[in-house]
Structure 1
Amino acid sequence: MEDGGEKVSSQQPQGASYTYWVREATPDAVPLPVPKMLSQNDIVSQNSDPATLGSVWNRAGTWEEKSLNKWASDRIKELLITVGTLEFTGGKAEIKEVSNCIGDAFLVTVRNKKRVGYTYELTLKVKGEWIIQEEKKMVKGRIEIPEFSFGELDDLQMEVKLSDEKDLLHQDKKQICQDLKKFLQPVREKLLQFEQELKDR
């Protein structure tokens, strides 16, 4: 068929297909970058540049996230066990174990600025003794702290559950739970310490 003096073939060359959409490798094509192991000099020069945060490979200080879960969970447990014994009008109690410490903590470098954050939930096993009806009784229980995050410790809440309450009157259980809720302030102080240590990392 002729159109404007040019012949237009309705047939395509064999094997042409759609390969022209694919960039084919040629001898003069730019080679792919090869991974390079950092030398000791690279690491030293990175350490001598205080303006750069994050890893050696991230000199531009773009996005980099580092998990701090192991350190954070261990540190929270260490701090809370050191709360010590609280004395109440009718008894005393202490945190014996952090039985549940679930969450995430991280350090993010964004545009050469460091940011940290965390989200956790806790269960603390407590043990104490109270004078109930002129008799000393050993009481065990747990304090559950629902999910809390970085910068939210002013809103920290806890729920107290007693393990051995069959022999306790309702008013005694109520009093013991109120006493155990007094752990809120010292626990908050330890978590504030943890938060500060996290920011300093």
Structure 2
Amino acid sequence: MEGGVAEKQSSYTYWVRETKDDAAPLPVPRKLTPEDISKQSQPVSLGSVWNQAGTWEEKNLNSWANGRIKELLSSMSLEFSKGKAAIDEVTKCSGDAFLITVRNKKRVGYTFELTLRFEGEWSIKDQKEKIKGHVDIPEFSFGELDDLKIESRISNDISAEVKAQISEDLQSFLEPIRKKLSQFEQELKDR
């Protein structure tokens, strides 16, 4: 190659469609029929329609929870060695219950405080006397029913010793209350 410069070939090449004839035809759009739509798999998601990805959604269940707790606990009665007592009203039921959907998984929770009014009859010095008062559950929350504690307040003007005995008897309300709240917890999970 005298006097001429050798052509340098590039080491880089790229794909170029030479003609349109050898290319695959473009797809033709068509309207989907209801049958086509029914064949498509629908993603299963929890929560609202607007939250199909299931990222985060919190639902307040306070009104349902308050009503259900009152319904479960308002008619309980027990008999003791020296008397009997019955819960006749839930006078205080305050707290929060919620359902949270996170990453398409359902989680529930609650925290409540309760005051239950009771009436009863105890044998005090071989005489039956009507007793009134309240049973307080200072705080309970989801998954912690084993730690449940109750405190009692007796309205009658009686000796401290008799009040202590009645308060001790009222501790037997703990297990039936725990069972009812466990039922509430299960119903909340199933929502």
> With structure 2 as the length reference, what TM-score do the two structures score?
0.77
Residue 116 of structure 2 corresponds to residue 124 of structure 1: yes
Residue 65 of structure 2 corresponds to residue 75 of structure 1: no
Listed one character per residue, the Cα deviations across residues 48-105 of structure 1 (whole Å, up to 9, x for unaligned) are 95721000111111100000000000000000113x2200000000001100000000
Give, as a single letter, the amino acid of the residue that structure 1 aligns with 2:55. Answer: T
The CA RMSD over aligned residues, in Å, is 1.7
How far, CA to CA, are the matches of 2:140 and 2:124 in structure 1? 35
The partner residue of 2:179 within 189, 192, 196 is: 189
Residue 171 of structure 1 deviates from its aligned partner by: 2.2
Residue 52 of structure 2 corresponds to residue 59 of structure 1: yes
Residue 162 of structure 2 corresponds to residue 172 of structure 1: yes
Give the 3-state SS of the residue equivalent to 2:185 in structure 1: helix
Residue 134 of structure 1 deviates from its aligned partner by: 1.4
Q: How does 1:19-168 map to 2 (within 5 A)?
A: 49=42, 51-82=44-75, 84-164=76-156, 166=157, 168=158
How far, CA to CA, are the matches of 1:57 and 1:147 in structure 2? 35
Question: Which one has a bigger Cα radius of gyration?
Answer: 2
How far, CA to CA, are the matches of 2:149 and 2:77 in structure 1? 20
Q: 1:108 to 1:159 in 2, by over 3 A?
A: same
Give the 3-state SS of the residue equivalent to 2:187 in structure 1: helix
Structure 1 segments of 4+ aligned residues over 6 angstroms from their partners: none
Q: 1:178 to 1:114 in 2, by over 3 A?
A: same
How far, CA to CA, are the matches of 2:87 and 2:176 in structure 1? 11
> With structure 1 as the length reference, what TM-score do the two structures score?
0.73
How far, CA to CA, are the matches of 1:128 and 1:177 in structure 2? 12
Give the 3-state SS of the residue equivalent to 2:51 in structure 1: coil
Give the 3-state SS of the residue equivalent to 1:89 in structure 2: coil
Listed one character per residue, the Cα deviations across residues 3-29 of structure 1 (whole Å, up to 9, x for unaligned) are xxxxxxxxxxxxxxxxxxxxxxxxxxx
How far, CA to CA, are the matches of 2:118 and 2:42 in structure 1? 48
Residue 131 of structure 1 deviates from its aligned partner by: 1.1
How far, CA to CA, are the matches of 1:112 and 1:171 in structure 2? 56
Give, as a single letter, the amino acid of the residue that structure 2 aligns with 1:89. Answer: S
Give, as a single letter, the amino acid of the residue that structure 2 aligns with 1:178. Answer: E
How far, CA to CA, are the matches of 1:170 and 1:163 in structure 2? 12
Residue 170 of structure 1 deviates from its aligned partner by: 2.7
